[in-house]
Amino acid sequence: MTNKSSEGGLSYKNLNIELDQSVSRKILRYQPSDDTYLMLDSLARYRGKSALEIGIGSGVILRELSKRFSVVVGTDIDYAALSFCNQSNDVKADLVCCDGAKALATSQKYDLIVGNPPYLPFDDNDIFDRTIYGGITGSETAIEFLKSAICLLSQHGAILILLSSLSSLSQFYREVALLGLSRRTISRKKLFFETLLVEEISFFHQQVHNR
Ligand SMILES: C[S@@+](CC[C@H](N)C(=O)[O-])C[C@H]1O[C@@H](n2cnc3c(N)ncnc32)[C@H](O)[C@@H]1O
């Protein structure tokens, strides 16, 4: 899916991803993967003024958002990820180290909020790694991302959350319904061992893309 460019960066479809892997592998715990690229494909249809990414990792998604939106903010709980993105000249975004989006002022609303949370169910025998484990069922971090994002969403905006069939989708869907939100699956990718999905969540039962 991705190719190594001559400079040691990445390219994906027509996107030139400026990520020096020799550097990023030393600093980052999470390298761009199939989930990252599915989210990149999915957000291409959205327009607006302001965008927020929760859990920026390498900043590949944030970089794309900063080309499409004039106000862009990214958060991560991992300071190393923020520091890595801060040193990248082509990421034009405000970066905040916090849990979900909990530290952000609710006076600023976002037209698009995206999150590719860790989604693997936690195996007790392993060490808890926040970049890959999403809690006991795998959906807990996704739900936390969503809950922290709602008060930041503009009235006609959309939240995109990436999920996997390896985590409890029913738990996530139940939570969306309890919060009184609308959702639909906008992208799906079947891999050998799992299916990745991107869920669009909004206040309304209507299509919110192409704004
Ligand atoms: C699966 S990686 C995705 C990284 C990047 N967005 C991508 O698509 O390649 C999940 C990211 O979420 C961050 N993260 C995990 N738990 C978090 C939390 N509670 N609040 C903010 N960020 C979190 C991790 O540090 C990691 O960078």
pLDDT tens string, the chain, 211 residues long: the values are 445 444 455 556 655 555 566 555 555 666 889 999 999 999 999 999 999 999 999 999 999 999 999 999 999 999 989 988 888 877 889 999 999 999 999 999 999 999 999 998 987 777 777 788 899 999 999 999 999 999 999 999 999 999 999 999 999 999 999 999 999 999 999 999 999 999 999 998 655 555 4
pLDDT of residue 74: 97
Edge-to-edge strands of the sheet including 15-17?
3-4, 10-12, 15-17
CATH number of 30-202: 3.40.50.150
Amino acid making up residue 165: S
Residue nearest atom 8 in ligand 1 by C-alpha distance: 36
pLDDT of residue 27: 58
Ligand 1 neighbour 130 (Cβ under 6 A): yes
Express each pLDDT in 132-148 by its tens digit.
889 999 999 999 999 99
Q: Phi first, then psi: give them for residue 82, nearest 5 degrees.
A: -65, -40
pLDDT of residue 1: 46
Give the integer Cα–Cα distance in Å for 109 and 153: 5
pLDDT of residue 10: 57
Angle between helices 60-68 and 34-43 (to 10 degrees): 10
Ligand 1: which atom is nearest the Cα of residue 39? 8
Give the integer Cα–Cα distance in Å for 187 and 27: 30
pLDDT of residue 17: 56
Q: How far is the CA of 116 from the centre of ligand 1 (A)?
A: 7
Ligand 1 neighbour 55 (Cβ under 6 A): yes
Ligand 1: which atom is nearest the Cα of residue 56? 6
Residue nearest atom 19 in ligand 1 by C-alpha distance: 99
For residue 77, which of 130, 39, 37 has the smallest C-alpha distance?
130
pLDDT of residue 13: 60
Q: How far is the CA of 82 from the centre of ligand 1 (A)?
A: 11
